[in-house]
């Protein structure tokens, strides 16, 4: 089993129809219905979104203009007033959903908790009032560095309620990475926990926050709000650090949702790009609310009795859009799991599905590949008959893994939605609508209604069917990122200038290569830039290189991805050393540790290869293409004539 290659998926022509039982009860029931919807949206995207915004969401005040498009800057529902926390909570309280489970939490070790809509609303209001007491006002950025506990979602919703943009930093990021993000966003407060459970150990989140803030290294941060989770001893800095359970004592649970401008910033979420510094992706309120609402409803085909489970972490966009905002806006029951599959508990996901009767299950290809390895006796030993629909996200899924998921987990009864999207797109862009679009293993199939996706060449011209090209989107959509925080220029350069606008029409460039087949199905091939995906986590090669060269021993570093059976890609770093250092196993260990310290465990290189020099072009550019082939153990193909010094390559090859 390998990560998908063009060869393996070019020959994939199996087609899976949803059962008529599934289709008959689905939100969108047939291919014809999908196509009608798609054509209607394409003919007039603005009218399409306006109608849904009116039907599906609560607005304090209606907009004057649906879309104001000054490429590449979009404003949706101009002057509309809305609050996403209101749409996720308050509006359900006057319905029968008041006492429906909003959030089911399965914690480690063996803890669990269920919050109804009324209970979640109350917690969010109290949390918001505590934030206000700590001086947080509309427009102040709040950092959230949390384990997967209900308070992570509560903190997000509390921020949204009072108009304080949140910036959630994944709990696996290091103190250094956290500090960079807090500084870039000028966060005024950090919400964290004493610790979190990760596999069988405690992650010392609060210690990391202390490190990030030490020596006034993140001067914008005035307060830290700490949720008690693991009860180990932590340092509490007087005047700066506060326990949530102390401050909530006697706090009012009355906190009306602030009417926000549709374009007010809802959150910043950092993601890796092809240059060193992670970018702060900015999402705004109204359009994001609408798009995550509609995609959750139609793609996951929600029914009011469903238990819906997305296994992502709230630190990623998937957690934002499809654990918290999309499901709650729909009044769904969303499940949040603190645990992670590991050798000591290989069946834990299946236990959760059985325990709660999960109906919709959304996970990542890397997890599926790990489950295949663990053996099908684990899922087979549990009752998974509650499942109705499966989803995947994060990277291309290889047809073998798709088939296993379909057969072993879905019992050949559940459609699979392979959902392509990005932090930048805010919501799912290319995906089957499960009752309508027959699936092909490895293809994300067709664009969501209102999404004018295409595959083009560098001049912006559509390529022929089955020819590879760049994946682009032709028309703005409601949840598109608004800018890179504090850097409009980088936004323009990264997403809108690689492919030239034709006739004044700007194309959003996703950074992925793709192919469209004769049926109009999209096959996403993966990144075309210097971004790699390790277990579905996106990392910039330059970011890891910068971390490596910040170590005194390293003169130069080049990082590439090497295909990996389970993780999709593994990080291989080619390193040249300063003259007073020589290669050793200890140094290799130390450098790996250094990267973990600078970025986090997710960026730990699998391999470090020392070399006297790196292969470069005459103009001094490192030829990563050659290094990729070397790392993968492949023959060096293609042109090497631009190499400055061929012997460098020969030497590297000898060493491998």
Judged by the rule CB under 6 A, the positions of this chain that interact with ligand WT7 are 271, 317-318, 393-396, 418-423, 444, 510-512, 524, 526-527, 538
CB of 423 to ligand WT7, least distance (A): 3
| Token duo for residue 632 | 């993968």
CB of 318 to ligand WT7, least distance (A): 5
User: Which CB sits closer to ligand WT7, 124 or 531?
Assistant: 531
- Sign of the alpha-carbon torsion through 242, 244, 249, 255: positive
How many whole angstroms separate alpha carbon 609 and alpha carbon 604?
Answer: 14
How many whole angstroms separate alpha carbon 656 and alpha carbon 651?
Answer: 9
- Sign of the alpha-carbon torsion through 147, 482, 328, 224: positive
CB of 421 to ligand WT7, least distance (A): 4
How many whole angstroms separate alpha carbon 205 and alpha carbon 646?
Answer: 47
Contacts of 637 (CB under 8 A, 6+ apart): 629
| Token duo for residue 207 | 């210690």
Q: Evaluate whether 572 touches 656 at the Cβ level (below 8 Å).
A: no
In terms of phi and psi (left: phi > 0; alpha: psi -120 to 50; beta: otherwise), the region of 406 is: alpha
By beta-carbon distance, which residue lies closest to ligand WT7?
A: 423
CB of 481 to ligand WT7, least distance (A): 10
User: Which CB sits closer to ligand WT7, 331 or 526?
Assistant: 526
User: Which CB sits closer to ligand WT7, 524 or 547?
Assistant: 524
Q: Evaluate whether 243 touches 223 at the Cβ level (below 8 Å).
A: no
CB of 62 to ligand WT7, least distance (A): 31
CB of 317 to ligand WT7, least distance (A): 5
User: Which CB sits closer to ligand WT7, 50 or 323?
Assistant: 323
Strands 189-193 and 223-227: parallel
Burial tier of 404 (Cβ tally within 10 Å: 0-12, 13-18, 19+) = buried
CB of 50 to ligand WT7, least distance (A): 26
User: Which CB sits closer to ligand WT7, 437 or 444?
Assistant: 444
How many whole angstroms separate alpha carbon 97 and alpha carbon 282?
Answer: 31
Q: Evaluate whether 572 touches 559 at the Cβ level (below 8 Å).
A: yes
Name the DSSP class of 449: T
| Token duo for residue 262 | 């549709």
Quickly list H helices, 550-623.
585-598
User: Which CB sits closer to ligand WT7, 5 or 95?
Assistant: 5
CB of 397 to ligand WT7, least distance (A): 7
SS3 484: strand
User: Chain centroid to CA 285: how far?
Assistant: 18
User: Which CB sits closer to ligand WT7, 325 or 420?
Assistant: 420
What beta strand segments (E) does 290-414 contain?
A: 307-310, 333-337, 360-363, 389-393
CB of 580 to ligand WT7, least distance (A): 39
First to last CA, the chain: 23
User: Which CB sits closer to ligand WT7, 367 or 591?
Assistant: 367
CB of 291 to ligand WT7, least distance (A): 13
User: Which CB sits closer to ligand WT7, 512 or 598?
Assistant: 512
Contacts of 634 (CB under 8 A, 6+ apart): none
User: Which CB sits closer to ligand WT7, 350 or 470?
Assistant: 470
CB of 508 to ligand WT7, least distance (A): 12
User: Which CB sits closer to ligand WT7, 394 or 441?
Assistant: 394
Q: Evaluate whether 173 touches 206 at the Cβ level (below 8 Å).
A: no
Of 613, 573, 580, which Cα lies nearest the Cα of 594?
A: 573
User: Which CB sits closer to ligand WT7, 61 or 466?
Assistant: 466
CB of 449 to ligand WT7, least distance (A): 18
């Amino acid at each position: 089993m390998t990560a998908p290659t063009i060869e393996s998926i070019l020959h994939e022509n199996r087609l899976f129809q949803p059962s008529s039982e599934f289709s008959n009860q689905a939100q969108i029931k047939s291919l014809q219905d999908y196509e009608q919807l798609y054509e209607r949206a394409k003919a007039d995207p603005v009218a399409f979104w306006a109608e849904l915004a009116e039907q599906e969401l609560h607005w304090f005040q209606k907009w004057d203009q649906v879309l104001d498009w000054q490429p590449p800057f979009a404003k949706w529902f101009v002057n509309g007033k809305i609050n996403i926390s209101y749409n996720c909570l308050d509006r359900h309280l006057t319905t029968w959903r008041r006492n429906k489970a909003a959030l089911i939490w399965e914690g480690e070790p063996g803890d669990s908790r269920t919050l109804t809509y009324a209970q979640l609303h109350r917690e969010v209001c109290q949390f918001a009032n505590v934030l206000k007491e700590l001086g947080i006002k509309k427009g102040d950025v709040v950092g959230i560095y949390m384990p997967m506990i209900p308070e992570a979602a509560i903190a997000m919703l509390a921020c949204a309620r009072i108009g304080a943009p949140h910036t959630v930093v994944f709990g696996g990021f290091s103190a250094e990475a956290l500090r960079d993000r807090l500084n870039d966003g000028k966060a005024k407060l950090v919400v964290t926990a004493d610790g979190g459970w990760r596999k069988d150990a405690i992650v010392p989140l609060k210690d990391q926050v202390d490190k990030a803030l030490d020596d006034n290294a993140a001067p914008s941060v005035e307060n830290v709000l700490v949720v008690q989770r693991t009860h180990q001893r932590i340092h509490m800095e007087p005047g700066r650090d506060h326990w949530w359970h102390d401050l909530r004592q006697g706090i009012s649970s009355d906190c009306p949702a602030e009417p926000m401008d549709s374009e007010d910033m809802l959150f910043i979420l950092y993601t890796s790009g092809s240059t060193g510094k992670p970018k702060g992706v900015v999402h705004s309120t109204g359009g994001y609310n609408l798009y995550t609402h509609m995609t959750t409803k139609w793609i996951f085909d929600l029914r009011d009795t469903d238990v819906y489970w997305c296994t992502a972490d709230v630190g990623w966009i998937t957690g934002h859009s499809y654990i918290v905002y999309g499901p709650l806006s729909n009044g769904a029951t969303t499940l949040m799991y603190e645990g992670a599959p590991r050798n000591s508990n290989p069946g834990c996901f299946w236990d959760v599905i059985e325990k709660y009767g999960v109906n919709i299950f959304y996970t990542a290809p890397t997890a599926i590949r790990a489950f295949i390895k663990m053996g099908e006796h684990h899922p087979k030993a549990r009752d998974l008959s509650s499942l109705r629909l499966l989803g995947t996200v994060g990277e291309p899924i290889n047809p073998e893994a798709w088939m296993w998921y379909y057969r072993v987990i879905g019992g050949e009864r559940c459609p699979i939605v392979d959902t392509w999207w990005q932090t930048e797109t805010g919501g799912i862009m290319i995906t089957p609508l499960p009752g309508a679009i027959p699936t092909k293993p490895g293809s994300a199939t067709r664009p969501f209604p209102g999404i004018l996706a295409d595959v083009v060449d560098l001049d912006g011209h559509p390529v022929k069917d089955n020819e590879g090209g760049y994946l682009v989107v032709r028309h703005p959509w409601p949840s598109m990122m608004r800018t890179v925080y504090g850097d409009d220029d980088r936004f323009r350069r990264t997403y809108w200038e690689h492919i030239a606008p034709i006739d004044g029409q700007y194309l959003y460039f996703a950074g992925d290569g793709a192919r469209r087949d004769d049926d109009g199905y999209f096959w996403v091939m993966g990144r075309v830039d210097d971004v790699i995906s390790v277990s579905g986590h996106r990392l910039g090669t330059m970011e890891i290189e910068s971390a490596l060269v910040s170590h005194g021993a390293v003169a130069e570093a080049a990082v590439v991805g090497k295909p990996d059976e389970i993780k999709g890609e593994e990080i291989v770093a080619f390193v040249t050393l300063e003259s007073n250092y020589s290669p050793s196993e200890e140094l290799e260990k130390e450098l790996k540790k250094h990267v973990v310290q600078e970025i986090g465990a997710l960026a730990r290189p699998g391999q470090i290869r020392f070399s006297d020099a790196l292969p470069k072009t005459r103009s001094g550019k490192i030829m990563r293409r050659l290094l990729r082939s070397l790392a993968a153990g492949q023959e060096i193909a293609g042109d090497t004539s631009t190499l400055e010094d061929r012997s460098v390559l020969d030497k590297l090859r000898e060493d491998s």
